[in-house]
Amino acid sequence: MLAIVGTVPDEAFPLVSGKVSLNGDILNVQGHSVAVNRGTPALLAAALKACEVLEGRDVTAFLVGDIGLGGGSRKLYSHLADHFPAMTIHTLAFHYLQPDVDWHNRIVFAVESMAKKPRMIADAGFMYAAKMSGQAEFYDLFTPDAGELAFLADETAPHPFYTRGFILHDENRAEDLIQRTYLHNNGAAYLLVKGKSDHIAHESGILTTVDHPAVEALEAMGGTGDTLTGIITALMAIDMPVPMAAEVAAKTNRLAGFYANPTPASSIIEVIHQIPRALAEVLKRFGDLLP
C-alpha cells in the first residue's frame, strides 16, 4: 500500500481514510470531495497521476480538516497510532500536519509495531516534528525547501522560529547546510532539497542537482513542492532506489511545469494533469536503469 497522511484546509472536513480517486480537478475519498489546490490534495493528485504511468497502483489517503491550529492533526495522529500496528504499508508519506513531538514519537512507536517498516517520507510540518524529536534517521527521505533545510541544519533550534534562514532563504548555502544537517544527525537517509535548483543529497553531500527546465512563471504558483513530493512517493512505492526516484521526480515535476505552459495565474492542477506525459518521457530516458 502507498499511503499519504495530511490535512485539508477546511475545519469541517472529517477524518477519512481510504482509497482516493481524482475526477477532473476534484479528489474523492470515502464519499468526500476536495478541490485540488496546493497542500496535501495537490500531493495526492500528483501521486495518483504518477501512478497512472506506474501500472495503476492505488493511493490510500489519511486526511483530516485542519486550518493550522492542530486540532485535526491531533485527531489524525491518534487514529494512526491506533491503526498503524495492524496495517501493511509499503511507502508512507507525511505532509502538512501540526508539528507535535509527542504525537510524532507515538507514530514512530506505531510504525515500529508494524510487521514490516514502510519506506518513510516526511515533508512540511511533520518533517519539523521529526527533526525536533531527534529521530530524523528513522526516515528514508526528507523533502525540505531552502528555509526548511536551514532549520534541519540548525542543531540548536527547537523550532523554526529560532532559525536564521527559515524565511530568509539563501539557496547558495545548500552544500554547507546539508553537511551541517548530517553532522548533527538531523537528516533522513536522503534529502531532496527543493528550490530553483533541486538537490538530491545524503550524508556524503550532494549527489545530483536538477535545474532544467526552469519555467519562470512557476515561481508564482503554489503547490509545486507538494507535487514533487507526490511524484517521488509514487516512485518509491515501486521500489525505485531513493536517489533515482528523487532525480526522476525532480525532472518530471519540472517537465510537467514546462508542458503546462503556465502564466503566473495558473493553478497547480494544470501542472498535475501533465505529470503522466512528463513522467513517461523521463522514465524512457532512464531506460535500462529502472528496477
The correct pick among 77, 84, 94, 96 for binding another protein (CB under 8 A) is 96
Closer to another protein by Cβ: residue 61 or 124? 124
Q: Which residue, chain included where needed, has cell 532559525? A: 163
Closer to another protein by Cβ: residue 126 or 182? 126
Residue 95 to residue 5: CA distance in whole angstroms: 6
Q: How many CB atoms lie within 10 A of CB 103?
A: 22
* 7 forms part of the interface with another protein (CB under 8 A): yes
Shortest Å, Cβ 68 to another protein: 3
Return the H-helix or E-strand segment holding 182.
helix 174-183
Shortest Å, Cβ 216 to another protein: 8
* 37 forms part of the interface with another protein (CB under 8 A): yes
Build a one-symbol-per-residue string for 69-88: x at contacts with another protein by CB under 8 A, - elsewhere: xx--x---------------
Closer to another protein by Cβ: residue 66 or 140? 66
Whether 280 contacts 53, CB under 8 Å: yes
SS3 for the chain is CEEEEEEECCCCCCCEEEEEEEECCEEEECCEEEECCCCHHHHHHHHHHHHHHCCCCCEEEEEEECCCCCHHHHHHHHHHHHHHHHCCCCEEEECCCCCCHHHHHHHHHHHHCCCCCCEEEECHHHHHHHHHCCCHHHCCEECCEHHHHHHHHCCCCCCHHHCCCCCCCCHHHHHHHHHHHHHCCCCCCEEEEECCCEEEEECCEEEEEECCCCCHHHHHCCCHHHHHHHHHHHHHCCCCCHHHHHHHHHHHHHHHHHHCCCCCCCCHHHHHCCHHHHHHHHHHHHHHHCC
* 66 forms part of the interface with another protein (CB under 8 A): yes
* 162 forms part of the interface with another protein (CB under 8 A): yes
* 239 forms part of the interface with another protein (CB under 8 A): no
* 187 forms part of the interface with another protein (CB under 8 A): no
Q: Which stretch binds another protein (CB under 8 A): 130-138, 231-239, 261-269, 280-288?
A: 261-269
Residue 17 to residue 15: CA distance in whole angstroms: 7
Shortest Å, Cβ 39 to another protein: 3
* 214 forms part of the interface with another protein (CB under 8 A): no
The correct pick among 3, 45, 97, 149 for binding another protein (CB under 8 A) is 97
Residues that bind another protein (rule: CB under 8 A) add up to a total of 52
Closer to another protein by Cβ: residue 142 or 283? 142
The correct pick among 1, 9, 71, 106 for binding another protein (CB under 8 A) is 9
> Binders of another protein among 118-137, rule CB under 8 A?
123-125, 127-128
* 217 forms part of the interface with another protein (CB under 8 A): yes
* 39 forms part of the interface with another protein (CB under 8 A): yes
Footprint of another protein (CB under 8 A): 7-10, 37-40, 66-70, 73, 96-99, 123-125, 127-128, 144-145, 147-148, 159-169, 216-217, 219-225, 263-267
